[in-house]
Amino acid sequence: MKIDTVDVLIAGGGPVGLALAIELGHRGISCLVAERNDRVGYSPRAKTTNVRTREHLRRWGIAEALRKASPIPPDYPPDIVFATRMDGNLLARFENAFNGQRVRNEL
């Protein structure tokens, strides 16, 4: 694809650039994503996605494929614990910290 034949040039292949490319593609608008790095970041990112993001992923038809590829299963304990050390005193525990449990949330 040549740059002077596309409707939209997107600078950056992060979540915003890639989401924009998918949206434009679904609407038949040609685009080209230009990313300066050979990969985005060197630490895991977007390991947690919120409800609104999941809505987009479902609409794009990739939600289940991403769920299967996730290294963290949905039933992974979602509590966050603060302690003085690994076997020390418990300071605080936030249960279901990411609202990931498959139970009804009254909020």
Ligand X SMILES: Cc1cc2nc3c(=O)[nH]c(=O)nc-3n(C[C@H](O)[C@H](O)[C@H](O)COP(=O)(O)OP(=O)(O)OC[C@H]3O[C@@H](n4cnc5c(N)ncnc54)[C@H](O)[C@@H]3O)c2cc1C
Contact 10, 33 (CB under 8 A): yes
Which residue of 27, 28, 38, 43 would you call a contact of ligand X, by CB under 6 A?
43
Which residue of 45, 54, 58, 93 would you call a contact of ligand X, by CB under 6 A?
45
The stretch near ligand X (CB under 6 A) out of 37-45, 60-68, 73-81, 92-100 is 37-45
Which residue of 15, 21, 22, 100 would you call a contact of ligand X, by CB under 6 A?
15
Alpha helices in the chain (DSSP H): 15-26, 51-59, 63-69
Which DSSP state fits 13? -
- Close Cβ partners of 70 (under 8 Å, ≥ 6 residues apart): 47
- Per CB under 6 A, 47 contacts ligand X: yes
| Long-range contacts at 91-96 (CB < 8 A, ≥ 24 apart) | none
Diameter over CA atoms, the chain: 63
Which residue of 21, 32, 35, 56 would you call a contact of ligand X, by CB under 6 A?
35
- Per CB under 6 A, 66 contacts ligand X: no
Give contact residues for ligand X (rule: CB under 6 A): 11-17, 34-37, 40, 43, 45-49
